[in-house]
Amino acid sequence: MSSHRFVATPSDGIVWITGASSGIGAAVASRLAAAGFTVVVTARREEKLQSLAEQSSGPGRIVPCAGDVTDGEQMEALVDRIEREVGPIALAVLNAGVYLPVVDGGIDRGIFDKTFAVNVTGTMNALAPVSKRMQARGHGQIAIVASVAGYFGLPTAAAYGASKAALINLAEALKFDFDNQGLTIQIVAPGFVDTPATADNPFPMPFLMKVDQAADRIVAGLKTGRFEITFPRRFTYGLKIIRILPYGLFFPLIARFTGWSRHNRTDQST
């Protein structure tokens, strides 16, 4: 396997970011444009993308290109259009995702269908065409945004966590071949970030980070080419230790950590 890590620079090509209309995606796009990249941003809300582009300050630029990651044919055509009209994609940040809580153990098929359609299939719909073009060129960098919720099961995250676990496994598996093809693949596993997706979490969120802080960490991690970008480490590395505990210790610890036992008792008493 190659030990060389390809790390994209503005001279190598452009950046493509999905899920870029707000939150982490928008903040990362702004930072990469400020670093000199041409950044193509994709999401369904074209007006949000246009506003992001107008607010961007050089020396790079942001180019809006609306699209729905759940439509595979549309993503194939979109990548072709980006490469023809804007330039070769040297770095892809696949960030599109949704968080739909699973409450009280209720298995709502619609929640799982939508979560996996966006988080897993949507990522694959973007990954397939962009990786194919990078493989033909013999270099490229791809970052897939997952979550520490993919490390293990957490309350309310039965759908979200399972989808993010799939992305982590996907990136791990692809790394073996991508290393030999000159492609750098990375997984981004943030802790809790203050976004609308986390606003209604009914449990404590230690080390909650602002979106701008998270974007700074991601951009710094992209520059290293390391496989995993995870932060804040004092929190996420602790979770890695918890992950290897036997279940007899794991479940009580997570229940206490999230306040879930107390949450359930409170619910039952009202």
DSSP conformational letter for 209: B
- At 7, which amino acid appears? V
Q: Using the structure block, give the residue that is written with the tokens 């794991």.
A: 250
* Residues forming the active site: 160
Give the C-alpha separation, 43 to 24, whole Å: 13
Nearest CA among 57, 84, 124, 212 for reference residue 65: 84
Sheet with 38-42, side-by-side order of all strands: 61-64, 38-42, 14-18, 89-94, 140-145, 183-190, 228-231
Residue 52 phi, psi dihedral angles, 5° rounding: -60, -45
CA 207 to CA 2: how far, in whole Å? 36
